[in-house]
Structure 1
Amino acid sequence: MVNKMGDVTLHPNSWLKEMARLNPSKWNMSRSCRASLAIALPMLVGYYTHTLMYTMWISMGAMFPSIGERDAPYGFTVRKILISAPIGVSGFLMGYLNTWGLDWGWIVLIMSAVGFAMAIASSYSATISIGCLQFMVMAAVSLGNPEIGHFWMSSLLLLGGASFYLLLLYLEKWICPHHIRRDAIEQVLHALIALCQKKIEQADVESARLQFNMKYEALYTLMLQKRYQALGHNIVWDQTAEVVQNMDNLFAIIMATQNRDEIAQIQTCLQQMVQALVQDQRLEPGHPDGLAQWQALNDLTLALWGRAPVSATPQNLPQRALNLRLTLQKLSPGRATVRSALALALCTAIGYAIRWVDDVSHWYWVPMTVSIVMKPELGSIFVRAVQRTVGTAAGVVLGGLLLALVPVGPLFILIIAAITFVLPWLAPRNYALTAFAITPLVLVLIDFLSPARSGMQYADLRLLDTLMGCAIVLLFGYLLWPRRHASELQESMAQARQAIAHYLQLVLDHRLQPESADVSEARRAAYGKLVDMRAALQKSMAEPPPAGYEAAAWFPLVACAARLCDAITVYSASASAQPDEQEWAWLQQMPQAIAGLQSLPELPAQLLDGHSPESQLIASIRKETHTRERLYEKAVAPTAAAAT
């Protein structure tokens, strides 16, 4: 049943089906083996050396990266662990607040403030978000178990577990590497090379064009699926979105080019890209003599290997000071991000305040549950609360039976290894399954920390605390705050475009004064809207399919808007003192085009090929506007189809 506004409504059974729907997930054997070894091997060593109390922390340290790993280049995964692991384990040092005898009221206020700061930091990138989540979880564990005492030692052991996981990752890269993203990009490049060959031979290009379309759609689908499964803002798949867009542009250029010599030069450049990609080398942009399409090739090169640093020289402000101000303004959170941070701070304070009415040491599961469920970029708060409750209930039964019936030994560790073996496959499919698999692992750790609270009794307390944490989140982090539903993405998109257009207009009005307070405020507002746009996208993407998958089609629009905003920022620092009159006249029309108040005018070719700051900004706006229009049609198509 569909209402007049096109929203799917009024079928509780269909809502429950979507809540329980399993997302697609391919079994990655190497990742499953790596997770199983990283968690079970330290336990096995600890069992035979009677040091299980210490090696359990190593296993826990290895569990975090095994849960959060997704398909990405090895370098990105390594950087993610190197950044997130130290942030996460440092949360264990918060336990000293308790052992130092600090009044619990102050601890509640401190953790509330920390939760607010972590929520703001989480909006910047997926890597920081993962580290902040681990920080909050480890802080709850350490504050709830003051008997651990030497928190610095536990932190080092947790860091050792992450290091062990990194070692296994490097061994895999050396012995049997996997490059899903790179292989998909390589296949599209080969399809473009084959298309060039057909054009050179003046043969029928129909089969080559069909092959390109198939490979291109496969890469586009992979991009959407992996972005849908990613945890937070993921720079790799944002970069892939730009690669996909530039491949599409280059395909159109190849189809339109009739000069065989130019086609041959394009083919040679594409072959160089493939060679550099396979050999894991960086390819620098070039300027082939006599090749009119060199800019399109350079755009693709820069998308694949990263953009060259901007060498703009501001006119009235030292470079270092301007760079610092630009960085601070980019980090300024938007209203939606601040609202989410305030909600997390409130729920965190309530979670830690539970200790005043329940001082049994298991109380800390409440704030830990709050931290996990309240991560907005990991999904809908309501959906995660329900899924976590269901998954934890099933996991408690499994964990309690494991602790009560199976003595610690090789069989016990083998069962743990089996659970961790399926964890990488379960994690992307459904959060309830993730909670189901993680719960027994965490129960085992707590059993060794506090043996007096082991078995089914402790498992029951674990479930009750999880229910309490979810209830706090639903009441004070969800129902208390005003919510927006299907219109949130389009509203965020419109607000971001208006803010970027206003930013450009003020940059033009203050061309000779890039340090103007008005320009700084507009820049801060524009980047803040982009942060809100990402936050809205992440929340919508994490809803059960098909809503989440439809929202994934919007994320290239976020990357497009960010590139446009960056181009304006570059121009503000390098604008010509006396711009060309024609270029300046065209540039004055761009804010209206960005805001969508008028169509983008037809621009003369000589204007787009210029090298002045004004000409380069106009070319960037034209490219990103056309890209945005194509992507917007793709993004709204699934919603329109659903409405009909």
Structure 2
Amino acid sequence: MSTERTEHISSRRARHHPLAPPSWLLNGLKPSAAPIPWAAVARASVAMSVPLAVGFALDEPEYGALASMGALAGVIGDTADAYRMRVLNIAVPQLFGAVGVALGTLVYGHGWLAVGALTLIALVSGMISSIGTVASVSGLLLLLNAVIGAGLPLPEPWWTAPLLLSAGGLFVLALSLLGWPLHRRQPERTAVADTYRALADALEAAGGPGAPYDERRQQVTHALNHAYDLVLGRRARVHGRSPSLVRLLAQLNVVIPLVEAAPAAHLRGRPLPPEIPAAVRDLADAVEEGRTGTPVLELPAAHTPAERAVDAALRHAARIVYIARPDLDNVDDRLGRPAALRVRARRAVRDMVLSRASWRYGLRLALCIGIAQSLVSVIEFERSYWVALTVTFVLKPDFGSVFSRAVLRALGTAGGLVVAAAVLSEVPRGWWDVPVMVVLAGLIPAFSVKGYAFQTAAITPVILLLSDLLNHQGFDLIRPRLVDSLIGCAITLVFGYLLWPESWHTRIGDRLADTVDDAARYVERAFAPVADEAAFAVARTTRLQARRRIYRDLSGVRSEFQRALTEPPPTGARAAAWWPLVVAVERIVDATTAARVRVNHGAAPPPADEVESIARQLRELAVRVRSSSIPVRVDAGPPGEATSVLAPVHQEIAAALAIARPES
């Protein structure tokens, strides 16, 4: 049974116990199994403690605190694998953060002017967050630093704080790039090798029980997407042809036929010989170590179309992996070479301005920040910048459900305040803050991978310690900050969640319906007749792009599913009802790919009317899914001939169409 399915059943059982916490809260509080990034832990400890030490040495602790605060932003954004992506993930947000703190400093203490300025910044921050990961972090730092600048007395002149914050962030960047000269392409090479290893695990599970294979196939999809993002992202910034990069791209491309052959191998109903996954793992080692030469493969004889597909794909992959210098002009990019950065930037800005979702999120964030800043700047109610800061973190769109984030933020802040209380009451201010920061800063990347509540608990004492160095309130910070956090969470829940209708609806159905429509087009393209070899090559590339787009969409559906499970009833329960259909659509795509592979290796192609029938059933399913808030029963069409190459596709479609309305 898959891990996700086990967690789902466990959460359902927990709901039956009268004293058990709700399942959506348990999902948020359960720590992730992700490994601790020890290199990031070491960088965070050094990057945030050294500025403090320099500040104390120069008798300017406020300057050290600001530089350390900038380093905190760099630590949060230091999540990329590839070195060039680290430059973007850290340097670009630092620029936006510098602009934000400068604007906040200029309106500090100006009442309604501060409210208006932060509300406008929040609108811009929310809208640019929809562009992508780097833009999202940039939007967060823009608003975050603007709130800090408008809420804390910072050193004069106005450019001091932006300069120190940027210096701290760039210090993190410098530390993260120390290994670049020695390991320039190691992250990309490791990502490609990990794709081979994930595929070996899937081939090892092929032919056995469905759940382990499905889980490992999802890991292949994730690894493949990650590797293409790194390799093609790097290629977009390389002018001309780089032999080493082209070789890496060729090694990644050649894994695709093996990925396509895996579903066909699974449908055989019996495990593959152990020599096959072992050979794929050996290719992974060859990619990572940069081996060249002549591969030696000892594989069992292949008899069926599925076995021939695996054998041919594996032998071809071995030849390409071991080639020292592939043909620079004959490497298929599969997904196409990315457009230039300025072209993609123009497209992103245009899409952002024209997107209703972008405007809705920007307006939600602006409304909540405006209300929070009004409490701070205008109303006679002694509160701090922490209210708007809480709104900023809770409404950040990348972290899942707004409702659960508000609750987890309150719990995480309470846990962090316990640590902060111990530090502020027992540790004397001064040089003792440096070793304390070494420990607390290292906890941020270690806890961030475990979940949002854990990240909040790690960040809270760090921000409070740095805030104390700026405003010297000491232990008196503790109680107001807890109340401020609760007020910020309440503002977010009311004005950023309850008042917006989309908060009460899961988007799984709509996104799944789009994926089912794509699956119908994929079936048609997979078995469309071709006139000659050139047309066959074009059709294969188009089919490959369509299949990868479907799997990317399904990854998005899975992410939306996990997010929706953290919502309170009825949203979480409605989301859970879609899960069997999500799995069914994945199996339809797998069965279609397997059928195409069998045709490529000797099986008889299906008749055109059978292909049309399958596409029609899928489109009917998409219409029903799009028009319903929960899965509905749909009558299956004719089953087709049992001997047809598409017989497994018919079976999977029948299973998908037979998914019934859940019992109330």
Whether contact under 8 Å (1:376, 1:539) holds in the other structure is no
SS at match of 1:13: coil
Q: Which moved more, 1:353-362 or 1:440-449?
A: 353-362
Distance change in 2, residues 1:174/1:340 (3 Å): same
Distance 1:258 1:597 in 2: 32
Cross-structure match for 2:83: 74
Report how far residue 335 of structure 1 moved.
3.6
Match of 2:470 among 440, 449, 459: 449
Distance change in 2, residues 1:245/1:104 (3 Å): farther
SS at match of 2:119: helix
Alignment of 1:199-348 (within 5 A): 220-221=218-219, 224=222, 236=230, 247-249=258-260, 266-272=317-323, 284=328, 286=330, 298=332, 302=333, 307-308=336-337, 330-332=351-353, 334-348=355-369
Distance 2:230 2:410 in 1: 32
Alignment of 1:212-611 (within 5 A): 220-221=218-219, 224=222, 236=230, 247-249=258-260, 266-272=317-323, 284=328, 286=330, 298=332, 302=333, 307-308=336-337, 330-332=351-353, 334-356=355-377, 362-451=383-472, 454-483=473-502, 487-494=506-513, 540-542=561-563, 596-597=619-620
Distance 1:475 1:148 in 2: 36
Whether contact under 8 Å (2:74, 2:169) holds in the other structure is yes
Match of 1:111 among 94, 118, 122: 118
Q: Which one-letter code corresponds to 1:31 in the other structure?
A: A
Match of 2:92 among 75, 83, 87: 83
Distance 2:415 2:144 in 1: 21
Distance 2:466 2:420 in 1: 11
Whether contact under 8 Å (2:77, 2:90) holds in the other structure is no
Cross-structure match for 2:66: 57
Match of 2:21 among 6, 13, 20: 13
Match of 1:38 among 27, 40, 47: 47
Deviations 1:238-294 (A, max 9, x none): 98999986651266699565899997655322334xx68xxxxx985617xxxxxxx
SS at match of 1:65: helix
Distance 2:13 2:506 in 1: 10
Whether contact under 8 Å (1:184, 1:218) holds in the other structure is no
Distance 2:77 2:344 in 1: 33
Distance change in 2, residues 1:283/1:382 (3 Å): farther
Whether contact under 8 Å (2:51, 2:67) holds in the other structure is yes
Q: Which one-letter code corresponds to 2:48 in the other structure?
A: I
Distance change in 2, residues 1:449/1:343 (3 Å): same
Distance change in 2, residues 1:158/1:141 (3 Å): same
Report how far residue 74 of structure 1 moved.
2.6
Distance 1:362 1:39 in 2: 27
SS at match of 2:178: helix
Report how far residue 235 of structure 1 moved.
5.2
Distance change in 2, residues 1:594/1:285 (3 Å): farther
Distance 1:90 1:65 in 2: 15
Distance change in 2, residues 1:488/1:544 (3 Å): closer
Deviations 1:532-567 (A, max 9, x none): 99998766544667989999x989x99xx9xxxxxx
SS at match of 1:123: coil
Q: Is 1:47 paired with 2:56?
A: yes
Deviations 1:579-613 (A, max 9, x none): xxxxxx99xx99x87982599xxxxxxxxxxxxxx
Report how far residue 9 of structure 1 moved.
6.6
Distance 1:368 1:194 in 2: 44
Deviations 1:416-474 (A, max 9, x none): 211112221101212222111111111121112112xx222122111111111111001
Match of 1:151 among 158, 166, 169: 158
Distance 1:445 1:479 in 2: 34
Distance 1:494 1:260 in 2: 35
Report how far residue 127 of structure 1 moved.
0.9
TM-score (norm 1): 0.63
Provide structure 2 residue ranges, at least 5 long, that are not aligned to the other structure: 1-6, 234-248, 266-304, 522-551, 590-607, 623-645
Whether contact under 8 Å (1:144, 1:361) holds in the other structure is no
RMSD: 5.5
Report how far residue 18 of structure 1 moved.
2.5
SS at match of 1:151: coil
Distance 1:371 1:400 in 2: 23
Distance 1:421 1:413 in 2: 12
Count of matched residue pairs: 502
Deviations 1:156-200 (A, max 9, x none): 1111111111111122445689957743532554898999xxxxx
Whether contact under 8 Å (1:400, 1:455) holds in the other structure is no
Distance change in 2, residues 1:44/1:496 (3 Å): same
Distance change in 2, residues 1:455/1:155 (3 Å): same
SS at match of 1:166: helix
Report how far residue 89 of structure 1 moved.
2.3
Cross-structure match for 1:522: none
SS at match of 1:148: coil
Distance 2:554 2:311 in 1: 44
Distance 2:201 2:366 in 1: 56
Cross-structure match for 1:515: none
Distance change in 2, residues 1:97/1:411 (3 Å): closer
Distance change in 2, residues 1:545/1:461 (3 Å): closer
Q: Which moved more, 1:440-449 or 1:181-190?
A: 181-190
Cross-structure match for 1:570: none
Match of 1:139 among 109, 131, 146: 146
Distance 1:544 1:184 in 2: 30
Q: Which one-letter code corresponds to 1:286 in the other structure?
A: N
Report how far residue 132 of structure 1 moved.
0.8
Deviations 1:16-36 (A, max 9, x none): 433321111212221111110
Distance change in 2, residues 1:95/1:445 (3 Å): same
Cross-structure match for 1:295: none
SS at match of 2:131: coil
Q: Among the aligned pairs, what percent are the same residue?
A: 24
Distance 1:123 1:77 in 2: 20
Distance 1:214 1:116 in 2: 45
Distance change in 2, residues 1:25/1:333 (3 Å): farther
TM-score (norm 2): 0.61
Provide structure 1 residue ranges, at least 5 long, that are not aligned to the other structure: 196-204, 277-281, 288-297, 312-319, 503-530, 562-584, 600-625
